[in-house]
């Protein structure tokens, strides 16, 4: 690559970075004042990016009650959707809220999962865990492993239903992350938006109505789950969608009088004060990334979605992650060459694909570089040889000085 091209790429990178650091709005303003909440733990996030709009004690651990069943339903969908649920005596005898399943009955998994999410049936959760996991302990292990894989902090499940247990705790942030993943599944999303469901006659059909009041009272509500125990107090994970924006809220240890006003007010606050912007648009030149000693000009392969409040100053910070498998390979124009991780105002807000803007041949060491390497190697070898000769002569002279009769002795007859 010639010098002019290197300079041009460097200038383009600098200008691109400067452009990204420019505020979307003319001036910075303080964030909007959040509503007063009764919940001790709370969070509001963008369901698509995980951007946190509001948080209160988001990593503190609380008892979750039946919002636990979000994970139970997700694993049933992804690991046992085509199985038949056989109700055991242990499942039938689970305390608390119930779908009134009876031992010996068998139902298709979709019907049982839907009934469980409607009325928080602990009997259904237990039967699902036995069917999907083979045993309840193994299913609980699956729940915790999934939460760890999603990097959901403050999560430790001890049962599939949410019944009180000192070791069964969640955090607002952890449940928000779990719900983001669950809501990305279309089957799960359909179930939690369902208002009425039923199970086959026994001897008459059992009808279940969704206990999530948001589905009936909040415009745009799309799920997901409520819970209550004496230890947990009122809990809810709610979700709503308006104008192409989907928000997820988690409220933990709320009060009976405060739960539903809190749920509506927090969602209203999010939709009223935040709007969708694109600080980085698809095709925007982001700078250069080094792949195999080759500086490659790259652009964004998609637009970045960000929820901003009026007057917010937006400064994207970019961290390039090149695909090192391309280090020794040719690169073509418009090829995916890595990704860029983006943070705004100290918060990770997602990643975008990096697309090359030029064609590059495989990296090869130049002839000049090879000659310099050979030249340096020869110089070192010659130096070592000279030092070796010098040391030999020095030792010989030292021997002669120590024994001056050596030469005389050689001349005697």
The catalytic site residues sit at 66, 69, 120
User: Would you say 123 and 100 are in contact if contact means Cβ atoms under 8 Å apart?
Assistant: yes
- Per the CB < 8 A criterion, the answer to whether 140 and 157 are in contact is yes
The two beta strands, 306-308 and 316-322, are: unpaired
Tokens 């909040």, residue located? 218
Segment (H or E) for 5: helix 3-20
Q: How far apart are CA 200 and CA 212, in angstroms?
A: 23
CB atoms within 10 A of CB 138: 13
At residue 18, φ and ψ (nearest 5 deg) are -65, -40
Sequence-ordered list of residues with C-beta below 8 angstroms from that of 238, at least 6 positions apart, any chain: 212, 214, 218, 221, 223, 224, 248, 249, 251, 263, 267
Residue 55's CB: how many other CB atoms inside 10 A? 17
In the chain, helix, strand, coil percent, each to 5?
40, 25, 35
Answer for the pair 326, 362: CB distance below 8 angstroms, yes or no. no
Spell out the residues 6+ positions from residue 173 whose beta carbon is closer than 8 angstroms to its own.
43, 52, 55, 58, 59, 152, 153, 154
Give the contacts of 138 (CB within 8 A, at least 6 positions apart): none
Chain Cα centroid distance, residue 5:
37
Residues ≥6 apart with Cβ < 8 Å to 160: 68, 69, 72, 125, 126, 128, 129, 136, 139, 140, 143
In terms of C-beta density within 10 A (0-12 exposed, 13-18 middle, 19 or more buried), how is residue 151 classed?
exposed
* CA 201 to centroid of chain Cα atoms: 43
| Nearest-angstrom CA–CA distance, 143 and 93 | 22
Residues making up the chain, counted from first to last? 413
């Amino acid at each position: 690559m010639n010098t002019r091209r290197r300079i041009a790429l460097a200038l383009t990178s600098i200008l691109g970075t400067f452009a990204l650091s420019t505020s979307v709005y003319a001036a910075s303003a303080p964030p909007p004042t959040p509503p007063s909440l009764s919940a001790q733990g709370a969070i509001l996030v963008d369901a698509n990016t995980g951007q946190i709009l509001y948080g209160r004690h988001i990593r503190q651990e609380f008892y979750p009650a039946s919002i636990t069943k979000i994970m139970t339903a997700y694993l049933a969908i992804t690991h046992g959707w085509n199985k038949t649920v056989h109700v055991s005596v242990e499942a039938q005898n689970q305390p608390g809220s119930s779908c009134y399943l009876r031992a010996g009955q068998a139902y298709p998994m979709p019907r049982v999962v839907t009934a469980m999410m409607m009325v928080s049936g602990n009997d259904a959760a237990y039967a699902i865990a036995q069917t999907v996991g083979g045993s309840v302990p193994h299913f609980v292990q699956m729940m915790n492993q999934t939460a760890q894989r999603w990097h959901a902090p403050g999560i430790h499940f001890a049962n599939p239903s949410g019944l009180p247990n000192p070791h069964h705790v969640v955090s607002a942030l952890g449940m928000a992350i779990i719900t983001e993943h669950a809501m990305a599944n279309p089957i799960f999303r359909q179930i939690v938006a369902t208002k009425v469901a039923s199970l086959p006659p026994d001897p008459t059909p059992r009808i279940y109505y969704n206990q999530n009041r948001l589905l009936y009272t909040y415009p745009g509500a799309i799920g997901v789950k409520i819970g209550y125990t004496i230890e947990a107090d009122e809990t809810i994970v709610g979700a709503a969608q308006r104008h192409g924006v989907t928000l997820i809220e988690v409220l933990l240890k709320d009060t009976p009088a405060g739960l539903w006003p809190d749920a509506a007010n927090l969602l209203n606050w999010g939709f009223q004060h935040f709007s969708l912007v694109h600080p980085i648009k698809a095709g925007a030149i982001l700078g250069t990334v080094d792949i195999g000693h080759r500086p490659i000009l790259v652009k964004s392969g998609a637009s970045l979605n960000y929820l901003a409040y009026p007057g917010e100053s937006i400064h994207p910070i970019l961290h390039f992650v090149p695909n090192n498998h391309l280090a020794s390979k040719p690169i073509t124009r418009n090829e995916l060459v890595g990704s860029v991780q983006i943070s705004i105002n100290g918060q990770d807000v997602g990643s975008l694909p990096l697309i090359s803007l030029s064609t590059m041949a495989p990296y090869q060491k130049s002839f000049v570089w090879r000659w310099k390497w050979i030249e340096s190697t020869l110089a070192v070898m010659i130096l070592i040889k000279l030092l070796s000769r010098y040391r030999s002569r020095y030792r010989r002279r030292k021997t002669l000085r120590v024994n001056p009769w050596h030469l005389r002795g050689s001349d005697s007859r």
